[in-house]
Structure 1
């Protein structure tokens, strides 16, 4: 079995969305001929999920090295966040590069795979690969210069130089979206850029009946952290306006927001909506899936701007549950087309403002008539199985190693 070094700053028992993609790759790579060996950072964990490693082979080797600045006082870390390029985690290289080189030599590793953000992980992986003469595959869960928040990063000119260096020198680039693939194509040969979206793992979902509920309201659930890239503002404003126009809706709708306490601040301008909202603190991953399964409708918020777009990872878990999805997004794009293809969806755009209120009214009306749940094409959903996506990754690895050995295409 061929061996691959997996470099990820975040890894279980740390919880949260950042670990799911790499965790599933690690879980299923052995099925396709690759033994993963994980190198991750030792740092204070804010979200702990004791169940995250269930289902992963017991023989998986996980190595951790300390990210020393992560243990420094908060004020120092704030300065680092504003000054360090590409990000405050770049000093993990002090321990990670040396350990990575040792692991490559000890285990006869043939490839290094790194996933970001933080993008400093790509620089660390690149140095390990160059110093051991192996190939580097860079996986971008979020784009670098193509990200909506790129302008907030320190020294953007240097950021662009580092991104170009990774793109030029890596053996392959993996992205989540076709639009991201096109963006990266301005920096390297598009033939070595591949799209592998996020997905779902059927084994994560409970087999029992999660539909039994004591209430008879239309429960709209969101799991995750609100941000400028996943802002509920347009939805909250539209729901508030809808309730003002028809007060009976207040008695019909129940919001459930699962995530950090900071989510509550987004409701400050809408005191009436707080009265119909159940705020649930951060939950382990599988518990979050159970809460999704108990919903009548799943909420999805995203921001897109020109060719800068993201598809929230939870989208594919929504698809697996085959629940109605209410998507609110700035404008038509890759995400809205994907959700439209899913078909069991209500899609509202931020302009005109009636677009969202109209979708909310339609949803409530169809829910009252028992017609809000539409049929879903299983073939469409099945393409996002994590096993299939890991197989696609393994095929990229195969191609790289075959070319390196002179086997060609």
Structure 2
């Protein structure tokens, strides 16, 4: 059985989408003759936690842990609220940033390159060099963000000649928040050089979208494989559909993901059709930025709003399946065309229609259309969005609001793991 070492920052009890990709791979790899060993930080600072995910770790899996120094702990002396908010990825618009927020972003962007977990690299390399010499490990896998994890793989590749796979759950220098870090010229150059060094030294690169693959092909000649995120078969999640026209968004709604045209369309429908107003519920699950809440309030929709906060993964799945309509929002900039949120695939298997809004040319548009799981609009499509909402509402009244998905099997976590195993066996 081929043995691989997976180096990841996010691991249960971490919550959120970042942990699930490799947790699910580890869950199924042995079925394809791959034996995983996992290396994670012993004392990480996770912005959100979900202890229920720990139940999915195979009982006899080897999980190595080593201490990590994280400057976020010291940053909390300045402002615990601002530090926690930034660590969750919620960055206010420039004019709304406090002095402390601007200072923390500048320090983060220019002194912690590629990120604030950089201090885990050297001690991890020291420990893993000894471990690799003692145990027969065929391949090393690193997954980022945080992209500092890739530097562990880079050093082990240089010093030991290990076979190395670099997995990019998100892009590096073109990720949506990169330009908000107030990077100086030197910092930008260093990020670019590190990204190129990782991409050109890894034996194989994994990405989650075709757009990221095309972007990286301009940097490296190394083989690149697209393995998207996916869905797993969730047991014990039995729910009834909401008797209201419940529109739900699962996951963080950051300042850049603020679909003001959606809020306007919903408000206008409540004004034009009293029965629509009686039925409507807007349900937001996860962290929501103040900008989004202000827009909802400004649109006159506060009375229809339910804020759930962060919930366990299993509860999030239940909410998806009980909602009448699911909303997916991506930031309206070219850099986010490559982003395919993990929740998209769970949305798809919920049999609830998806209303997605994002930038022109977004990868999510093609996926939603080819799987027949919903509709996609750009930010300026107010008239079409309003018309679609009314159409979905009419189907809701008739009891016919659902989807007929096509070809979802290839996105199951087990099938994606089979694809991963084929990559690993070729190395």
How does the TM-score come out when normalised to structure 1?
Answer: 0.90
Partner in structure 2 of residue 90 of structure 1: 118
Partner in structure 1 of residue 88 of structure 2: none
The answer to whether the 8 A contact 1:223-1:257 is kept is yes
CA 1:234–1:85: 2 relative to 1, 3 Å = farther
Partner in structure 2 of residue 81 of structure 1: 108
Alpha-carbon shift at residue 50 of structure 1 (Å): 1.8
The answer to whether the 8 A contact 1:10-1:18 is kept is yes
Alpha-carbon shift at residue 332 of structure 1 (Å): 4.2
Q: Matches of residues 147-166 of structure 1 in structure 2 within 5 Å? A: 147-153=175-181, 154=183, 155-166=187-198
State the Cα RMSD in Å: 2.1
Unpaired segments ≥5 residues, structure 1: 401-409
CA 1:206–1:275: 2 relative to 1, 3 Å = farther
Q: Does 1:121 align with 2:152?
A: no
Unpaired segments ≥5 residues, structure 2: 84-103
Partner in structure 2 of residue 43 of structure 1: 44
Helix, strand or coil at the partner of 1:51: helix
Partner in structure 2 of residue 405 of structure 1: none
Q: Does 1:256 align with 2:274?
A: no
Alpha-carbon shift at residue 372 of structure 1 (Å): 2.5
Alpha-carbon shift at residue 339 of structure 1 (Å): 0.7
Helix, strand or coil at the partner of 1:338: helix
Helix, strand or coil at the partner of 1:86: coil
Q: Matches of residues 97-112 of structure 1 in structure 2 within 5 Å? A: 97-112=125-140
Distance in 1 (CA, whole Å) between partners of 2:423 and 2:312 is: 32
The answer to whether the 8 A contact 1:331-1:351 is kept is no
The answer to whether the 8 A contact 2:5-2:140 is kept is yes
Helix, strand or coil at the partner of 1:268: helix
Partner in structure 1 of residue 395 of structure 2: 366
Q: Does 1:168 align with 2:200?
A: yes
CA 1:267–1:250: 2 relative to 1, 3 Å = farther
Alpha-carbon shift at residue 165 of structure 1 (Å): 0.7
Partner in structure 1 of residue 294 of structure 2: 268
Q: Which is worse superposed, 241-250 or 285-294?
A: 241-250
Partner in structure 2 of residue 243 of structure 1: 270
Distance in 1 (CA, whole Å) between partners of 2:271 and 2:11 is: 45
Alpha-carbon shift at residue 264 of structure 1 (Å): 5.8
Helix, strand or coil at the partner of 2:49: coil
Alignment counterpart, residue 377 of structure 2, candidates 348, 352, 358 = 348
Q: Which runs of 4+ in 1 moved over 6 A?
A: none
Alpha-carbon shift at residue 349 of structure 1 (Å): 2.0
The answer to whether the 8 A contact 1:328-1:356 is kept is no
Partner in structure 2 of residue 407 of structure 1: none
Distance in 2 (CA, whole Å) between partners of 1:344 and 1:14 is: 29
CA 1:52–1:119: 2 relative to 1, 3 Å = same
Alpha-carbon shift at residue 229 of structure 1 (Å): 5.6
The answer to whether the 8 A contact 1:179-1:307 is kept is no
Alpha-carbon shift at residue 20 of structure 1 (Å): 0.4
